[in-house]
Structure 1
Amino acid sequence: MAGVVIVGGGQGGFQAAASLRQEGYEGPVTLVGDEPGLPYQRPPLSKAYLKDGDAARLALRPQAFYAASDIALVHDRATALDRDARKVALASGRVLPYDHLILAPGARNARPPLPGIDAPGVLGLRTLADARALREALPGPDAPIVVIGGGFIGLEFAAVARAHGCAVTVVEAAPRLMSRAVSSETSARFRAKHEALGVALALGVPVTEVLTDPAGRARGVALADGTEIPGALVLLAVGVRPNVELAQAAGLDIADGIAVDAHLLTSDPAISALGDACSFPDPRTRQRVRLESVQAATDHARAIARRLTGRPAPYAALPWFWSDQADWKLQIAGLPPREETATELHDLPRGGFAVHRWEGDVLVCVETVNAPAEHMAARRLLASGPVTRAALAAQEGSLARLAKAG
């Protein structure tokens, strides 16, 4: 029996292996990852790890867990799939047979073709090695830092670097922060928050070049309007690209990621895919989506494990996301509408707030800051069925009260 081979040692790949054992799968389970060490958490890399540098705290499970669970860890890189023979070729020359293959290759940082982008001093943040290099390169107090990208990762790092005393400028080509992920109301609140922290923001103007000194090292960036912003370090945080090359070369269907059906199966019934690298039909909108989210990856993994152990069901988990920036915890329940639609801003006790996002009279997404009870209520309500304006208005806009009322 060849068993299940999982390609990708991130949190989704780990969860697939762990869930298979939790669901009672007794065949061989092999987890292939191209990073050294044990599978680890990525979200703390842009926050806690930059502050304390404690990599041991990132491990998802200790070494003993894999031995006790009979999960084989293989530190190698998958280079090719033979779908007819059901085999995975690795960079080392080793070949792994499989009965079922789970692709969890994740994503990689996008690198726009800017002059100077490969200069020393331009860093990304995706892996533990990236975070370690970034932490070691973090300059002393008052040193200038440029962050290219005003999304979650860029702003999380900006808050940490500002607390370190650095002079931080965030450059975002879009007219507002986190424009792909949050409403204009939440974006405006976070703009004010970061400006209060002392972060300088340059919005609506793209970077055209990474400037270098005579030694070839990054010294800042140039913007499309001619402005030059100095930076002893430049963080590139402009999004990610799904790692689809292995699947594409094997002839699997690709559609903004590895295309899967409602059961997370690819166009080959012996291969599943999960996480940042796959696109799937959203059960609520029926539109194909790809989620860059640890929670989505772990939910995908659990659904695949249940299917492989005889309990198939369409993937239907409600997406949710979070970002920690300084002392603000942003939590999002549901998928943001593809276009800006009607929103309602509610200020909450203890400095928190919530933004309700509507499509017609139906609530589709809730953004909260420092309001865990409202967030958890939103997740329960959105997962259980439509929430109407009338129902929420009857509880004075409080999701927690609506959930309690049943």
Structure 2
Amino acid sequence: MTDLRRPPHAPASRPRVGRLLILLFPATAAMYALFNGISAVILPAQVEAVDPASKVGNLALLNTLAAVATMVAIPLGGALSDRTRSRFGRRTPWIAGAAVVSAVACILLGLADSLLGLIATTMVLWFAANLYSGAITAILPDRIPDDRRGLAAGVIGMGTPAGVVLGVQIASRMSQLTAYAVIAGVLLVTTVLLLVGAREGSARGLPLPVRERWRLGERLRSFFAAFAARDFRLAFASRFMLFASYYVVSGYLFYTLQDYIGSENVPGGDVAAAVTTMLTLSILVWVVVAGLTGWIADKVDRRKMVVGVSALGVAASMTIPLAMPSWTGMLIYAACLGASIGTYFAVDLAVMSLVLPDADSEGRDLGILQVATGLPQLLAGAVAGALITWFGGYPALFVFGSLCAVASGLLMLGIRSIR
């Protein structure tokens, strides 16, 4: 019989996995639509409208504060929901509450017309939305059997590019306040469908984890206790290196096309349109690959190997612009990167869920692993700037990205507890 790895204090009720995944996909896509539609399109325009002369510095400030909020909120969402006991379950109250706060913060951000207002509302929105992320991601170890984790991770992985496309389309085709309202509405509707259509079992009466004495040092050691497990450390380091690779390169894609490939060498000399073309190609390949890889990884039971090889694929993709510094080379790079990242996202979350050492704190520990995504994003700008300035310009970005991806793959392959 398949071992479901149910945490000893988890609610016993499990809806059919198919129904849960069908409803989890739009909720995940809505979450990423919020993140990407706002950060990529709406917020930069707002920042420029408030103070055009200082837009670069102000946007960098907002992005830094948002990254800090992200790194605090994701593990906190998991940790708080781990210890919640209600008739609606452990995760549901936090998912519902964070969705409502996020929707309200969206509207307030749409009305903000000063830098202070943008800072305050962005911090609230990013904290609430990432609290939502931490709680909703914990559904995976809670309610998905081991032998379906790859499929579930693939569904969540496809929600990322679907959300990117949805969010950018909403943000670019509607007025500012309307776009915020639609994004908020989509998040609320998809959350209600998930929570009502795939109800979580009651958590009332379930025992709470043993409470530690309130000493700051002990609480901190307890919160980061998962790092005592070797495979958890390797998974965290692998994820950190992969996303360091991705964000350092992708964050300067516009300038790479403009200065490294040359504006005159992209179609029509339109760098913005060229970036859109590359992202669209990458996402299309990503969606196709992610839809197949999770299922295949479950069937062959080689999730660790698939994630490790996909990281090495990212490394190989980043050598293409070095060998072919042309528009054609960048298109080949975008397609190969999309395939590799799609493979990674399809299985990575399943691997992360299988290295969690404490069944009572799976939400918290999965959230800590997600910090390995946010921390590289926070550091990427400074690292990329240093590489470009001190190590030979834009080619240094691809060399750095390739080396980080190789390190990620090797770290992943070092995990012993899963195949």
Relative to its length, the structure with more strand (as a share) is 1
TM-score normalised by structure 1 residue count: 0.24
* Larger radius of gyration between Structure 1 and Structure 2: 1
Query: Comparing both structures, which one devotes a greater share of its residues to helix?
Result: 2
**TM-score, normalised relative to structure 2:** 0.24
